[in-house]
Structure 1
Amino acid sequence: MKSYFSNATETTADDSNVTSPLGGANVAPRSSALSNRLTSVLSASYADSDIRDALETLDIRGTHNTPETRRQLRLDVQKEVISCNGKIVADFGKVAAQLKQLGSVIVDLQQICAEMRKHVSLSKQETAAVLDEASTLIEQKSETETKQRLLDAFNKHFVVPEEDLNTLVSSAEPVDDHFFAILARVKQIHNDCQVLLGGEDQKLGTEIMEQSSKQLNSAYQKLYRWIQKEFNSLNLEDPQINSSIRQALRVLAERPSLFHSCLDFFAEAREYILSDAFHHALTDTVSGAETDRSVKPIEFSAHDPLRYVGDMLAWVHSAAVSEREALEALFVNEGDELARGFKSGISSEPWSRVDGEEAPVFDGRKALNDLVNRDLSGVSRSLRQRVELVIEGHDNPVTTYKVVNLLAFYKITFSKLVGPESNLVEVVSALVDSTFKHFEILMRDQAHIYSTDPHSTTPPDDLSVPQFLADQLEVLTSLMKEYNASVGATSDVKEQEENRFTPVLRVALDPFLDIAKSSANDLDDTKASTIYKTNILLAVRTTVSSFTFASATHLVPISNVLSNMRMELLDIQRQFLLGTSGLQKLLTALEPFSQHHSSKAQSESTTTRTQNLAEIADLAAFQPDTLSAISQQLDDFLPSALMDATDNLKRVRNLSLVKSVTEEAVEEFCRDFEFVEGIIIGADEARGTKVDMSRIEMESDIVSVSVRGTQIGGDEAEAEGKHSLRALFPRTVGEIRVLLS
Structure 2
Amino acid sequence: MSTSYFQERGTPASQDASSPTTPSTGTASRGVNALSSRITNVLSASYADLEIRDALATLDARNVRNTAETRRQIRLDVQKEVIQCNGEIVRDFGEVAEQLRRIGTAISSLNNYCADMRSHIASANRETGPVLEEATSLLTQRKQVEKKQQILQAFTSHFLVSDEEATVLTSTAEPVSEEFFQVLTRVKKIHHDCQVLLGTEDQRLGLEVLEQSSKQLNAAFQKLYRWIQREFKTLDLENPQISASVRRSLRVLAERPTLFQSCLDSFAEARESILLESFHSALTGSSSEAEHIATKPIEFHAHDPLRYVGDMLAWVHSTTVSEREALENLFISDGEEIKRSIQEGLESEPWLRDEGVEIFDGRKALNQLVSRDLTSVGRILRQRTEQVVQSHDDAALAYKIANLINFYKSTFVKLLGSDSDVLEVFNAIEASAMRQFRANMRDYVAAVQSDLAVAPADLSPPDFLDDALQMLKVLAKSYDTSAADSEDQEHGFHAVLAEALDPFMSGCVNLQKGLQQPHSAIFAINCLFAAKEVLSAYTFASERVEEIEETISEQVTQLVAYQHQHLLHESGLINLLEALEKITDSEESLKTIPELDAFKPDALIAASQQLDEFLPSALIDAAENLKRLRNRKIIQDITEEAAGSFCEDFELVERKMIAADDLLYDEDKVDEEQEPGLRDLFPRTSGEIRVLLS
> If the TM-score is normalised by the length of the shorter chain, which range does it land in?
0.7 to 0.9
Q: Equivalents in 2 of 1:528, 1:316: separation in Å?
A: 56
Q: Aligned in 2, Cα 1:400/1:289: closer, same or farther, shift over 3 Å?
A: closer
Shift of 1:714: 7.9
Q: Equivalents in 1 of 2:577, 2:132: separation in Å?
A: 159
Q: How does 1:209-288 map to 2 (within 5 A)?
A: 209-284=210-285, 287-288=288-289
Equivalent position amino acid for 1:396 in 2: D
Q: Match of 2:38?
A: none
Equivalent position amino acid for 1:405 in 2: N
Q: Match of 1:607?
A: 588
Q: Which moved more, 1:133-142 or 1:538-547?
A: 133-142
Q: Equivalents in 2 of 1:354, 1:226: separation in Å?
A: 29
Q: How does 1:684-699 map to 2 (within 5 A)?
A: 685=661
CA contact (8 A) 1:285 1:296 kept: no
Q: Aligned in 2, Cα 1:182/1:615: closer, same or farther, shift over 3 Å?
A: same
Equivalent position amino acid for 2:424 in 1: E
Q: How does 1:452-601 map to 2 (within 5 A)?
A: 452-455=450-453, 458-488=454-484, 491-492=485-486, 495=487, 499-523=491-515, 525-551=516-542, 553-588=543-578, 590=579, 594-598=580-584, 601=585
The answer to whether 1:632 aligns with 2:609 is yes
CA contact (8 A) 1:335 1:363 kept: no
Measured against aligned partners, the alpha-carbon deviations of 1:667-713 in whole angstroms (never above 9, x if no partner) come to 22223333344555666x4xxxxxxxxxxxxxxxxxx6364467777
TM-score if structure 2 supplies the norm length?
0.76
Q: Equivalents in 1 of 2:157, 2:390: separation in Å?
A: 73
Secondary structure at the residue paired with 1:705?
helix
Q: Aligned in 2, Cα 1:354/1:480: closer, same or farther, shift over 3 Å?
A: closer
Secondary structure at the residue paired with 1:595?
coil
Equivalent position amino acid for 1:337 in 2: E
Q: Equivalents in 1 of 2:429, 2:439: separation in Å?
A: 15
In the comparison of the two structures, how many residue pairs are matched? 578
Structure exhibiting the larger radius of gyration computed from Cα positions = 1
Q: Equivalents in 2 of 1:712, 1:230: separation in Å?
A: 129
CA contact (8 A) 2:572 2:611 kept: yes
CA contact (8 A) 2:405 2:429 kept: yes
The answer to whether 1:653 aligns with 2:611 is no
Shift of 1:427: 2.5
Measured against aligned partners, the alpha-carbon deviations of 1:80-138 in whole angstroms (never above 9, x if no partner) come to xxxxxxxxxxxxxxxxxxxxxxxxxxxxxxxxx99xx9xx989997x988887676666
Equivalent position amino acid for 1:167 in 2: V
Equivalent position amino acid for 1:651 in 2: R
Gaps of 5+ in 1: 1-112, 686-703, 718-722
Equivalent position amino acid for 1:503 in 2: A
Equivalent position amino acid for 1:546 in 2: A
Q: Equivalents in 2 of 1:549, 1:354: separation in Å?
A: 47
Q: 2:404 aligns with which of 403, 406, 412?
A: 406
Equivalent position amino acid for 2:609 in 1: Q
Q: How does 1:74-113 map to 2 (within 5 A)?
A: none
Shift of 1:386: 2.0
Q: Aligned in 2, Cα 1:166/1:614: closer, same or farther, shift over 3 Å?
A: same
Q: 1:450 aligns with which of 448, 451, 460?
A: 448
Q: Equivalents in 1 of 2:204, 2:422: separation in Å?
A: 56
Shift of 1:260: 1.4
Q: Match of 1:418?
A: 416
Q: Equivalents in 2 of 1:511, 1:711: separation in Å?
A: 75
Shift of 1:660: 1.4
CA contact (8 A) 2:517 2:562 kept: no
Q: Equivalents in 2 of 1:666, 1:608: separation in Å?
A: 29
Q: Aligned in 2, Cα 1:175/1:677: closer, same or farther, shift over 3 Å?
A: same
Shift of 1:140: 4.6
Equivalent position amino acid for 2:582 in 1: H
Equivalent position amino acid for 1:451 in 2: Q
Measured against aligned partners, the alpha-carbon deviations of 1:534-567 in whole angstroms (never above 9, x if no partner) come to 111222223222332212x112222222111111
CA contact (8 A) 2:518 2:625 kept: no
CA contact (8 A) 1:250 1:338 kept: yes
TM-score if structure 1 supplies the norm length?
0.71
Q: Aligned in 2, Cα 1:708/1:548: closer, same or farther, shift over 3 Å?
A: farther
CA contact (8 A) 1:331 1:367 kept: no
CA contact (8 A) 2:590 2:659 kept: no
* CA-based RMSD: 3.3
Q: Equivalents in 2 of 1:378, 1:736: separation in Å?
A: 82
Shift of 1:312: 1.1
Measured against aligned partners, the alpha-carbon deviations of 1:540-596 in whole angstroms (never above 9, x if no partner) come to 223222332212x112222222111111111111122122223334434x1xxx332
Shift of 1:287: 5.0
Gaps of 5+ in 2: 1-115
Secondary structure at the residue paired with 1:650?
coil
CA contact (8 A) 1:331 1:365 kept: no
| Identity percentage of aligned residues | 50
Q: Equivalents in 1 of 2:194, 2:563: separation in Å?
A: 107
Q: Match of 1:705?
A: 663
Shift of 1:648: 1.4
Secondary structure at the residue paired with 1:405?
helix
Equivalent position amino acid for 2:622 in 1: A
Q: Match of 1:370?
A: 368
Equivalent position amino acid for 2:218 in 1: N
Equivalent position amino acid for 2:374 in 1: L
Q: 2:426 aligns with which of 428, 441, 452?
A: 428
CA contact (8 A) 1:403 1:435 kept: yes
Equivalent position amino acid for 2:208 in 1: E
Q: Equivalents in 2 of 1:202, 1:708: separation in Å?
A: 142
Q: Aligned in 2, Cα 1:673/1:230: closer, same or farther, shift over 3 Å?
A: same
Q: Match of 1:97?
A: none
Q: Which moved more, 1:425-434 or 1:674-683?
A: 674-683
Q: Match of 2:295?
A: 295
Equivalent position amino acid for 1:404 in 2: A
Q: Equivalents in 2 of 1:169, 1:410: separation in Å?
A: 48
Secondary structure at the residue paired with 2:236?
coil
Secondary structure at the residue paired with 1:354?
coil
